[in-house]
Chain A
């Protein structure tokens, strides 16, 4: 991979800025469904690809934005390491730049942290085509404002994320999945109780009266917790390969729950928020802090309930975006967004409208 690919991307951005032509930054386009609207001329990041450095004993990997997520994960797996935030790919062509720009994390997020928690550094190509580096490749770094974490989840509206450094973790020594029968409200109650105890729960999912719990960590700790769940909650051990398929299908939205055309809501809530009595099916993750809802319920009503509970509601997959995909920001936070966008991208060339129409 020659530096020429990056120079070409920078030239395209410089020209677009001069001509005030909006750009739509994309990698494998696996997350095109996510966000408010897609606009602008496509700018494909996949020419700028490859792992720049990976040192297992430093627990850090640095990769160019266009690097396929699958390549990165394969390189980590060879050294028995992983991206602990377990990012959803939503397609074979997903790139690491897209993972960071989208800011979405998978089932392990509840115990390990989110993609933003694992971002150590990033380089940014700004509207002038300049390449800038923020953060670094070390775990602790408080030099300057945390621009690299600000870029995480920015949906590309501040510039091109050209390269990222991520903290990686060892694969757990042992992993087991258990399942038990339990109702919606009781599941929420139990998940919150367990989260306050030193148990190695790395993922949870409740659907249709069945709660799946994944335990990860030292073999002794996982075994001890397994026995406890079997004894106290009549939980049943799930076959290892079935379990692996289940968590992967959950992460990639390939469970039957996600099929069909019904709007898919993503509710991000305090884990103790009560079970909502809304029409439609619900799937709980992250110990109750993430709730997927398939429903035709009125958007205003869903948003009102989520907001009243102290969280937010996102129309994750839908055919009708007219109501707004993301919750409206408070006036002060919205004003800060506009000012940050104006400072970083004064001509509005980067992914305009992807997050909010006015950004």
Chain B
């Protein structure tokens, strides 16, 4: 059980030996067209990071297969030559999960971008991994169906990446995450074998390897096909917008909605810093005097929505809302949401850079968390906007900084790490939906004990004994945690430190 960890490739920045690139390129040439194989710096540069641009690493090679047989061939060669492989979808991930390995191959699935079949009666779509999340819903729309998980990047992000990260979205309290909406995944193991997890029925015999694969950040297998569930589009959606003079009261209001037995389709909160940052930008008519704004959406049949909206309004009034507006039209509903959906770009407008965190906490600790973040703003001398998937406890604090000032970035990173430690302390997790990737790997040392991390490595070994798939991500080694532990003194001491740089 306690076999040594596979550490060979854990150092993502380790440069390849001389001649190695040529050797790998020569072999891959036999299976990929010239335009599908990139290895000159000017060609590989666009792949050096994903949506988390603060972490960059040039890959040794980028492979762009166009079908499953090429994916298999690339994996077989990498397996034989002992080359790390980093699978990549649309590159919109926010945790550096697709950041390349210096001596590895980036395996882009972007060209596997076809919807293979869509069955409206069975409510299933079989798609290739490079298909965009929103493209599935667009294809299903003529049948009155859609794919429910809607990460904010859904215009661009791919379903393969959604499977790797177990992506969520603003509607997941009611409609679930990727793991709840995918029935089957076909993938290729590191040794080039085709393997299918799940099927088009609701369950399969044996262990639930599909659940283990979803959210495994490209470390167990490379996804080549996904069968997703499609669900009926609600006939109507309406949103209630409520103002609160106190963030804590807004948090209590959320708990009271749930206590009333209501599961809103979306339940989001933003603080005053956020509403003031987005209002000039979106002109949604937000109450700028409110300390917190709560958005609660109801969807379903017109009868259902009318009943639920009335109940939500009643709860919000009872919980001390200072103002309440209900969207009277689809245009108004979208306008109310526009600020929440544009919080990230708005942060980019008022600050040169921002750093988005992704912890989840039990909702009851929201007030304490926001107070703790306020204190951190003082301590790190950086501002932080707070948007919050209030229904499911997922926080997205946006730390504002200027990347041109290395000290600001260091403070932002430490600020973020401290927020995540607080999330664990409050009974939550360091990542709700963005994944661990490279970004939060140190925070995993705080959330899991060495023996728990060993169980993760045990599962990894069963799939990829050589540790070639996306090495150095998601699960920190003992050595890495020991180093992190030395630098970060827990228990309220200031965690200024020099983290390893990539």
B211 and A116 within 8 A (CB): yes
A103 and B208 within 8 A (CB): yes
Chain A 87-146 residues near chain B, CB threshold 8 A: 103, 109-110, 113-114, 116-117, 124, 126-128, 130, 132-134, 136-146
Contacts of A337 in B (CB 8 A): 206-207
Q: Looking at chain B, what size class is its interface with the partner chain? A: 35 or more
Cβ-Cβ contact count across A and B, 8 Å cutoff: 275
**Contact flag A310-B166 (CB < 8 Å), given A220-B307, A270-B122:** no
B259 and A56 within 8 A (CB): yes
Contacts of A59 in B (CB 8 A): 258
A221 and B300 within 8 A (CB): yes
Contacts of B462 in A (CB 8 A): 336, 339-340, 342-343
Counting chain A CB atoms within 10 Å of each CB, the highest count among B197, B301, B430 belongs to: B301
**Contact flag A147-B459 (CB < 8 Å), given A152-B211, A268-B204:** yes
In the complex, B233 has a CB within 8 A of chain A: yes
Contact with B along A303-339 (1 / 0, CB 8 A): 0000000111010000000000011011011001101
In the complex, A355 has a CB within 8 A of chain B: yes
A57 and B307 within 8 A (CB): no
In the complex, B89 has a CB within 8 A of chain A: no
Contact with A along B202-219 (1 / 0, CB 8 A): 111111110110111000
**Contact flag A142-B165 (CB < 8 Å), given A80-B261, A136-B428, A220-B306:** yes
Chain A residues with a Cβ closer than 8 Å to the other chain, count = 89
Taken together as a complex, chains A and B put the C-alpha atoms of A25 and B85 apart, in Å, by: 40
Binds B, one of A4-12, A194-202, A238-246: A194-202
**Contact flag A144-B444 (CB < 8 Å), given A220-B303, A336-B195:** yes
B205 and A329 within 8 A (CB): yes
In the complex, A269 has a CB within 8 A of chain B: yes
B215 and A142 within 8 A (CB): yes
Taken together as a complex, chains A and B put the C-alpha atoms of A145 and B165 apart, in Å, by: 10
A147 and B202 within 8 A (CB): no
In the complex, A169 has a CB within 8 A of chain B: yes
A134 and B455 within 8 A (CB): yes
B307 and A192 within 8 A (CB): no
With both chains docked as a complex, state the minimum distance between the C-beta of A18 and any C-beta of chain B, in angstroms.
Answer: 13
**Contact flag A314-B119 (CB < 8 Å), given A58-B364, A145-B456:** no
In the complex, A219 has a CB within 8 A of chain B: yes
Taken together as a complex, chains A and B put the C-alpha atoms of A83 and B181 apart, in Å, by: 19
Taken together as a complex, chains A and B put the C-alpha atoms of A144 and B456 apart, in Å, by: 7
**Contact flag A269-B447 (CB < 8 Å), given A140-B433, A218-B303, A221-B300:** no
In the complex, A286 has a CB within 8 A of chain B: yes
In the complex, A282 has a CB within 8 A of chain B: no
A57 and B195 within 8 A (CB): no
In the complex, B328 has a CB within 8 A of chain A: no
Chain A 214-266 residues near chain B, CB threshold 8 A: 217-221, 223-225
Taken together as a complex, chains A and B put the C-alpha atoms of A145 and B166 apart, in Å, by: 10
Contacts of B427 in A (CB 8 A): 136-138
A333 and B168 within 8 A (CB): no
Contact with B along A35-54 (1 / 0, CB 8 A): 00000000000000000000
In the complex, A34 has a CB within 8 A of chain B: no
Taken together as a complex, chains A and B put the C-alpha atoms of A153 and B455 apart, in Å, by: 18
A170 and B262 within 8 A (CB): yes
**Which B residue's beta carbon lies closest to that of A345?**
B1
A152 and B208 within 8 A (CB): yes
User: Which B residues form the contact surface with A (CB < 8 A)?
Assistant: 1-2, 119-124, 143-145, 165-166, 168, 172-173, 176-177, 179-180, 189, 193-197, 199-209, 211-212, 214-216, 220, 232-235, 255-256, 258-259, 261-263, 300-301, 303-304, 306-308, 360-364, 389, 391-394, 427-436, 440, 444, 447-449, 451-453, 455-456, 458-463, 474-475
A-B contact pairs, 11 of them (CB 8 A): A138-B360, A138-B362, A139-B172, A140-B433, A142-B432, A144-B475, A220-B303, A220-B304, A268-B203, A270-B200, A340-B207
